[in-house]
Amino acid sequence: MQITQSKQLFSRAQQRIPGGVNSPVRAFKSVNMTPLFITRGLGSKLFDADGNEYIDYVGSWGPMILGHAHEEVVRKLEETLRKGTSFGAPTEGEILLAEIVCEAVPSVEMLRLVNSGSEASMSALRVARGYTGRDKIVKFEGCYHGSVDHLLVQSGSGAMTLGTPDSPGVPAAFVELTLQAKFNDLESVIKLTEENSQEIAAVILEPVAGNMGMIPPEHGFLQGLRDICDREGILLIFDEVMSGFRVDYGGAQNIFGIVPDMSIFGKVIGGGLPVGAYGGRQDIMLQVAPAGPIYQAGTLSGNPLAVAAGLATLGILKEQNPYPDLGQKTAWLSGEFKSAAESAGIPIQTQAMGGMFGFFFSENPVHNYQQALKTDTEKFSRFFRSMLKQGIYLAPSAFESLFVSTAHSEEDLERTAVAFRKALRDE
């Protein structure tokens, strides 16, 4: 595999773009490689600047559930493009997208479109604070909700303590009201609510964690959070930017039967274009301006192109219901990974749900961020490089989830399983 062009482009990029990339994980630093520069995607494949072809399991970090350049999505984009790209005014498409999301996710009675998951997180927490009249929030170590100042709290600083900034430039005062709990640990949440009685506005989490590797909730964890929030008058916010319309058409909340007060979406509902959304109960959302006093705005919110791609994608998902097939694909792939690793005597932990899966090189099960940090990241780095050489494109981090699309064929999956076995033999 030659990546001469990618190396040249990376060198050039570093002259004008910090670190040569526009989002840190793209730099491939954790796997000790030069990042690949992608020229196009089609179906389940990506193609880089050197002409190399890869089976893609990143899917633009989740949204490409139909694969790249899906014919119907492209057609809708072309139709919309000819009519104009941005108006800064209402369009019918915005209503249609809000209607389809609310229909799919019954807990969402009203919805506000924004431009990214980060913006949706920031806005949802502002609404939660305004609605409850409280200032503190609880987040979970390892759950990522975008590069929002008051959510950039150091993951390893311990549960049940006040946060410290995870990045220079974020004043301590911005995160002093952000409390940290441990994922899959109800006791850590109970302790925080006892120590901060009547001060917590919201508990926010990924119902299926996807940013510390894929870690599902343990039995009773989400229901326990729902019970705590009901008892304490706290809003429960599910960040379904990654899991929404991914693990199921109705999101993780539909699978687990838990009704949050607010939900955050992104990725899939824009068909891969920049979009985000937050929504929830009507009485909460009617506090958002201009219906209520809590201000939030955005010129490009509900952008016609993003809305068109989202409508096309969600329409296909609703009509075709690919989730049973996606579930079978990810379960089969996870099973092959586990079987091959066991045969090679290499400890591995795997998880799969809907079109989302993940694995850790670890002897012990992984239920939270602290346990994820103890997994073998050096082994992952070597494994990643071997898989890439064999034409399999995985996330360049041991702490990211992977995604299967409807475009992945049986041949793609079998090739991936063969590459996995060879990568393990290389160990």
> How confident is the model over 22-44, as pLDDT tens digits?
998 899 998 999 999 999 999 99
Confidence (pLDDT) at 214: 95
pTM across the whole model: 0.95
State which of 298, 320, 342 marks the end of a domain: 320
Q: Which of 136, 139, 267, 329 is catalytic?
A: 267
Are 100 and 246 within one domain?
Answer: yes
CATH number of the domain that 370 lies in?
3.90.1150.10
48 is catalytic: no
Do 192 and 337 fall into the same domain? Answer: no
**Amino acid (1-letter code) at residue 20:** G
144, 278, 369, 393: which is the annotated catalytic residue? 144
Closest CA to 36 of 385, 414, 326: 385
267 is catalytic: yes
**Do 56 and 173 share a structural domain?**
no
Q: What's the pLDDT band for 16 if we cut at 50, 70, 90? A: very high
Q: Report the CATH number at residue 227.
A: 3.40.640.10
Q: Which of 56, 239, 248, 261 is catalytic?
A: 239
Nearest to 87 by CA among 353, 301, 241: 301
Which pLDDT score, from 0 to 100, does residue 202 have? 98
* pLDDT tens-place string over residues 276-317: 999 999 999 999 999 999 999 999 999 999 999 999 999 999
Do 181 and 234 share a structural domain?
yes
What's the number of domains the chain is made of? Answer: 2
- Residue 160 in this model has a pLDDT that exceeds 50: no
Beta carbons of 211 and 143 less than 8 angstroms apart: yes
Same structural domain, 276 and 326: no
On whether both 315 and 333 belong to a single domain, the answer is no
| Mean pLDDT in residue range 149-175 | 58
Residue 35 near residue 10, CB atoms below 8 Å: yes
**Read out DSSP for 10-40?**
HHHHTTTSGGGSSSGGGG-GGGTSPPPPEEE
56 plus 84 within the same structural domain: no
Residues 217, 337, single domain; the answer is no
Determine whether 57 is an active site residue: no
CA distances from 133 to 109, 156, 184, 245, 346 (A): 22, 29, 27, 32, 51
Last residue of a domain, one of 320, 342, 369: 320
8 A C-beta contact, residue 123 and residue 113: no
Collapsing DSSP to helix, strand or coil, 357 comes out as strand
* 274 half-sphere exposure, CB direction, 13 A CA radius: 10
- Indicate whether 57 and 102 sit together in one domain: no
β-partners of residue 262 are 237, 280
For residue 161, the model assigns a pLDDT of 34
Q: pLDDT tens digits, residue range 321-349?
A: 999 999 999 999 999 999 999 999 999 99
Predicted pLDDT of residue 163? 46
> Residue range 253-282: average pLDDT?
96
Same domain flag for 293 and 405: no
> Could you count the other beta carbons within 10 Å of the beta carbon of residue 135?
12
Choose the final residue of a domain: 320, 339, 372: 320
Instruction: Look up the domain containing 49 and give its range.
Output: 4-65+322-426
In the block, tokens 């100042």 appear at 149
Is residue 155 pLDDT above 70, yes or no?
no
Residue position matching structure tokens 């070597």: 382
- Mean model confidence pLDDT for the chain: 93
The single-letter DSSP state of residue 160 is T
- Whole-angstrom Cα distance, residue 53 to residue 48? 7
Q: What is the per-residue pLDDT across 110-137, written as a single tens digit (0 to 9) for each?
A: 999 999 999 999 999 999 999 999 999 9
Q: Which residues contact 7 (CB under 8 A, 6 or more apart)?
A: 34
Tokens of 84: 């104009």
| 394 shares a domain with 281 | no
pLDDT band at 157 (very low <50, low <70, confident <90, very high): very low
Q: Greatest CA span in the chain, whole angstroms?
A: 61
Range 362-381 average pLDDT = 95
Is 51 in the same domain as 137? no
Token readout for 236 is 């429960």
- CA 197, CA 233: separation in Å to the nearest integer? 10
Token pair for 60: 């633009």
